Structure 1
Amino acid sequence: MSFKPLNTAEYPQLLAEKVNTVVASFADLALPTAEIYPSAPEHYRLRAEFRIWHEDGSFFYAMFDPRDPKAPIRIDHFPTASETICTLMTPLRLALGEHSALNKRLFQIEFLSTLSGDMLVTLIYHRRLDDEWQLAAQAIAEQFNIQIIGRSKKQKIVLDRDYVLEQLPVDGKHYAYHQYEGGFTQPNGKVNAKMVSWAKARCGQNPDTDLLELYCGNGNFTIPLATHFRRVLATEISKTSVKAAHENFAMNTVSNALVLRMSSEELTSALNKERSFRRLHGVDLDSYAISTVLVDPPRAGLDAASREFIAGFNNIIYISCNPETLRRDLEILTKSHHVNDFALFDQFPYTHHMECGVFLTKQG
């Protein structure tokens, strides 16, 4: 069985139906008319992963239907993936097939690409990797000008670097990001650029006030928004993302942003003077004059304490990957704030998932 190509002609209708469903779920909150930011209908996903299925002395990329999880679906072309990934898939498979050191007990392949063309490939095995593997993998990396990581149980071999370098175009400027293997990155780069631009447009110029950002990741929003404020205080719990954020601040010469490795709940508690943390040693929280807060929480949305805390600020930029939890949070936030802008970003075409953006300002 082969992967069925996308019918891109269906995308406008599918998007319209999804938009109608999401907008209807907020109907009783009387939100402004939603701004719609569609995706490219194909080659929009910068990440892809495939199982490797060995059969008759060869192997192919495979995916599985949850309704029949034991039957592999052969993938020869994957049009949802970036053109960089699609162009590499077949030549890489053929090249790996020529080296037993590279294809023996190969279990999975993961691709991480960028809008700027950088590529990292992770090869995952059910065996320990040796010097022969490393020499063969190095030759493949040089042949295709890609980064390669080899993984097996309790083993990780990085041939050169374990990240890709993205150059994200936002409002005529390019922002540089290290995006690490295994770290969170936005999967749809072009839509992500639209999200960042939308958030920037809600910031204005605030040279005397500061931005608080919860769930900052690798600095995806932090870096472009930092120029709008005196300082940025950000929080993130992922060690990999915090490391990337520090590197990305340096690459973009952002000197007015501080990222703390803390959960949003912990920072909320610290700012409310309910608890003290060693991680805040030397950080003068009282020196921040926060006027705007940006939140980009996981699918669970905001916890009750964080939701109550951000309601104390004049401006809230809320980026959500789950309309259901966004609606729950807005039911409370709209008691103190007015929704000025509402946007829908189609990060995941042909699925029911929708990314949302809401800009709220304090009433009165």
Structure 2
Amino acid sequence: MTEATDKKEAPAAYDEWLRVESLDLDAQGVAHKADGMVVFIEGALPFEEVRLNVHRKKNNWAQGTVTAIRKESSQRVRPGCPHFGLHAGACGGCKMQHLDAAAQVAVKQRSLEDNLWHLGKVRPENVLRPLEGPAWHYRYRARLSVRHVVKKGTVLIGFHERKSRYLADMQVCPVLPAQVSAMLMPLRALIGSMDARETCPQIELACGDSPGGTGLGVIALVLRHLEPLSAADVARLKDFAAGNEGVQWWLQSKGPETVKLLEEGGPALAYTLPEFGVTMPFKPTDFTQVNPHINRVLVGRALRLLDVRPDERVIDWFCGLGNFTLPLASRAREVLGIEGSDTLVGRAGANYERNRAAVPGRRALSPTTFVARNLFDMTPAMLVADGAADKWLVDPPREGAFALAKALADLHQQVEPHDGGWTPPKRIVYVSCNPSTLARDAGLLVHQAGYRCTHAGVVNMFPHTAHVESIAVFERA
């Protein structure tokens, strides 16, 4: 038996036409050669007949880029961004702009269902209608790299080129808010004029809502600078902010703890959840959802699926700065929010106090406690110590909530009754940003912890990308 080899070589053309069967989560078409070899094809869509150049090959699969299309998919569309594509220098930020937006959602839904079945052996009893929002100008958070390219005599700001360490020469970005997209070239000119143009590697973008929550508010730009800024550079930044409505400069000299506002005063960076009468101030380096339009709808759907009653206690695991916790506190008797970051726990507590009082259309928020804990080290004893809750909301990072699900499964399998009369939650709503870790955890909940997966569906938080956000509901069997 020969050992598999990984050949990275100059692109080689395939003469035969291949029929594309499906699309993987990297937005590559999947086809088979006549000899059975699997071929992954960048730029190809399902049911197309294509030729390609192969640039990577193993014994049982190959990877390449489409060079010709003999039969085109009816779902192929013209990309909405001039920097998207397979050409040299193309931006690598999006992967699916050549596919109709509705078809993108269908691909993600299939990925969710495939992961649940193949990794967790779980089939949801009901498939939820996908949550969708604007396909363009939705991205209120982004980490933009900055490079002064001496050979080109210019500064580049944006995302990396497709499969490259070089920055794309981006002049616009239609997934960013229109006002921010229009600011890219002026930002390039600004950095190019600065004394520190060689030592500013990054600008982190975080946008807030307008006071009424109806549009774009504060545009926070966090400038990472490796050396102290000169007085002239500080003046340049202030002039730029004065000439661009809503812009606030924040400076970051080292780690996230060094982030500070350049000029005090002005409106606070915040987002709103109008359905629950809640306003959430945050710092530009705090974790918040990239897409505020979808986040509002997601929070509403999660609470409706959880069906929280006024006499119930709820735990919000991985609560962050309170995105779900505060809406839960507007419905439940009592809420416990648990989060791994001390900074976010402090921010969540401050947000709770800010929103605690009753407002028109909403009663005062229920008693709510926030705790900082490493949720990747959960044990059954720790779970019991947190007390019984009627329902759980779980919103983990990409790593998922394996330790939490495992602790719950271990308690379910214990023969002896739990200390203090602890009982498992009767319903869990799990919000996921990684279908594979959701599937793994769902397998534990269904096959070892005594739950049924009653609902699951996708949340299109990141249109035109391969990122899959989803939501699933688990009921005690």
TM-score where L is the length of structure 2: 0.65
Tell me the equivalent position of 1:299: 398
Q: Deviations over 1:230-263 (max 9, x none)?
A: 1111111112211221221122224521111112
Q: Measure, in 1, the Cα distance between the counterparts of 2:164 and 2:247.
A: 34
Deviation at 1:101, TM superposition (A): 4.3
CA change 1:63–1:298 in 2 (3 A) is: closer
- The CA deviation at 1:306 is 4.4
Where in structure 1 are there 5+ consecutive unaligned residues? 274-284
Question: Displacement, 1:42?
Answer: 1.2
CA contact (8 A) 2:405 2:441 kept: no
8 Å contact kept, 1:23–1:34: no
The 2-side partners of 1:161 and 1:10 are apart by 44
8 Å contact 1:129–1:152 — kept in the other structure? no
State the Cα distance separating 1:87 from its structure 2 match.
3.3
Of Structure 1 and Structure 2, the greater helix share is in 1
2:106, 2:367 → 1: CA distance?
Answer: 41
- The Cα offsets for residues 156-210 of structure 1, whole Å up to 9 and x where unpaired, read as 5521469963333453x55211222222111111111121011111233422221
Which residue of structure 1 lines up, in the alignment, with residue 302 of structure 2?
A: 199
- For the 8 Å contact 2:251–2:260, the answer to whether it is kept is yes
- 2:126 is the counterpart of 1:15: no
Could you list the per-position Cα deviations for residues 6-59 of structure 1 after superposition, in whole angstroms to 9, with x for gaps in the alignment? 847722222222222322333452311232112421111111222223235432
Deviations 1:110-163 (A, max 9, x none): 211134322100122242224443333233333324211123347655214699
Aligned residue for 2:187?
92
In structure 2, what is the Cα distance between the partners aligned to 1:25 and 1:105?
Answer: 43
Partner of 2:171: 76
Match of 1:118 among 208, 215, 218: 218
Does the 8 A contact of 1:119 with 1:164 survive in 2?
Answer: no
2:457 aligns with 343
1:237 equivalent in alignment to 2:340: yes
Comparing both chains, which one has the higher relative contact order based on Cα–Cα distances under 8 Å and sequence gaps of 6 or more?
A: 1
Query: What TM-score do you get using the length of structure 1 for normalisation?
Result: 0.84
User: How far apart are the structure 2 equivalents of 1:35 and 1:109?
Assistant: 36
Residue of structure 1 equivalent to 2:84: 4
Q: 1:190 aligns with which of 276, 286, 293?
A: 293
Report the AA paired with residue 150 of structure 1: L
Q: For 2:330, what is the secondary structure of its paired residue?
A: helix
Contact 1:186/1:192 (CA < 8 Å) preserved in 2?
A: yes
- Paired residues in the alignment total 346
* Letter in structure 1 aligned against 2:288: T
Tell whether 2:173 aligns with 1:61.
no
Partner amino acid for 2:252? R
1:170–1:197 CA contact under 8 A, matched in 2: no
**Counterpart-to-counterpart distance in 1, 2:183 and 2:161:** 24
CA distance in 2 between partners of 1:342 and 1:128 (Å): 50
Q: Distance in 2 between matches of 1:305 and 1:205?
A: 21
Q: Which amino acid aligns with 1:59?
A: V
Q: Distance in 1 between matches of 2:260 and 2:234?
A: 8
Q: In the alignment, which residue of structure 1 is the partner of 2:408?
A: 309
Q: Does 1:48 align with 2:48?
A: no
Q: Which residue of 1 aligns with 2:444?
A: 332
Q: Is residue 210–residue 290 contact of structure 1 (8 Å, CA) maintained in 2?
A: yes
**Which amino acid in 2 is paired with 1:315?**
R
Could you say which residue in structure 1 is the equivalent of 2:123? 30
Pair member with larger Rg: 2
- Please state how far the C-alpha of 1:266 moved relative to its aligned partner: 5.1
Q: How does 1:156-195 map to 2 (within 5 A)?
A: 156-160=259-263, 165-171=269-275, 173-195=276-298
Of residues 83-92 and 42-51 in structure 1, the stretch that sits farther from structure 2 once superposed is 83-92
* 1:310-333 deviation digits (Å, cap 9, x = unpaired): 862111111111111111111221
> Is the contact between residue 116 and residue 438 of structure 2 (CA under 8 Å) also seen in structure 1?
no
Q: Give yes or no for contact 2:405–2:445 (8 Å, CA) kept in 1.
A: no
- CA RMSD, 1 decimal: 2.9
Equivalent residue for 2:320?
A: 217
- Give the SS at the match of 1:186: coil
8 Å Cα contact 1:211/1:293 also seen in 2? yes
